[in-house]
Structure 1
Amino acid sequence: MNTIENIESRRSIKHYDPEHVMPEADLQELLRLTKLAPSSFNMQNYRILVVRDPELRKQIRAAAWDQAHVTDASVLFILCADATAHEADPATYWGHAPQEVQDMLGPMIKPFYEGKDQLIRDEAIRSSALAGMTLMLAARDLGYDSCPMIGFDADAVAKLIKLPDNYILSFMIPVGKQAKPAWDRGARLPDEEVVAYDTFA
């Protein structure tokens, strides 16, 4: 498929073949492609938890309104972000760049975020969302379906996955082989409700 076909055919699938096991090569390719998602200052502050343990997924399902796709999909991905990524050595993100680029961008990162809790949280959600969308489109290209999820008890899931204190939990994405098609796609809102040009007034 090409990118347009992936966008047009991607749907939020709720029913998966519970017998399907994702080959390791497919999983590694999904992770490789997901890590190509953009992030502010190239911080790559998204964190991807790959959940395959059946017992753990049963517990997560119980914290997710008993939604079957948590356990039935081939893999459950949980998208998080490191809220302290801006504190790392800038060379971690820019060591590959020409020295003049390192000298310009490196010193900007920490002061841009330091003490700005809302900005840090916003960045965490932005980066994990970009990674998640990249993952879903890559999954579609590899013949898989997916479903972004926020319908779960975040505190309970955080405890189950032993979420580090400096991580922010964003959302979950089950990925697998569709067992039942999605409902018809809902009508898109008209442009006049969602699109503006130059200003909103």
Structure 2
Amino acid sequence: MDPPFSHIDIYHGFKFCLDSLGNDNDFDHEETDTVKAKPSLGGKPGCFDTVVVMDTSDCETTGLKGTRIGRLKVIFKLPSQVYGSITPAWTKDPLAYVEWYAPLKPAAEDYREMYLVKKCLSNADGFTLGQVISLSSIRQTCQLIPNFGCTALPMEWTSDSVLDRCDIFFLNSFTSKYAYQTLW
């Protein structure tokens, strides 16, 4: 028996419009964001963005209620042969696989005014908890700042490896005006 399809389309990036926040200058231009999920190729390191995902129905445009932080690992679209009459309509849109960080606490850290983000513990097989989601459920990219603690920066931490090697981060809500308005 032949398989129903032989390949899936993989994308290394996706550009989308951010939700309007009702600011006066929103009428002048529309803000966009770009997410990347590029594997290492030809000696160049991979790039897997961290994202804010709308995770529950009580998610809002601003604030982190109903969201979850994840690391985007792949963007893909299933071939049309996969879709049947019982398949939910949202799956015809591009999909994404994200590896989750631990759920956020309800409030930011008082002394830094940033949320603490921790890696999820791996399961018994050593795999990080992940999920296939609709690409449209990604609200925005986000920047994680490594928590260096009181020790010196480990030499093995580089800009290419820090998301893999560090276990605790701060969610940077100061990267842009949009991030400040939506992540705080």
TM-score for the superposition, normalised by structure 1 = 0.27
Select the structure that is richer in helix. Answer: 1
Structure number with higher relative contact order (C-alpha < 8 Å, ≥ 6 residues apart): 1
| Structure with more strand by fraction | 2
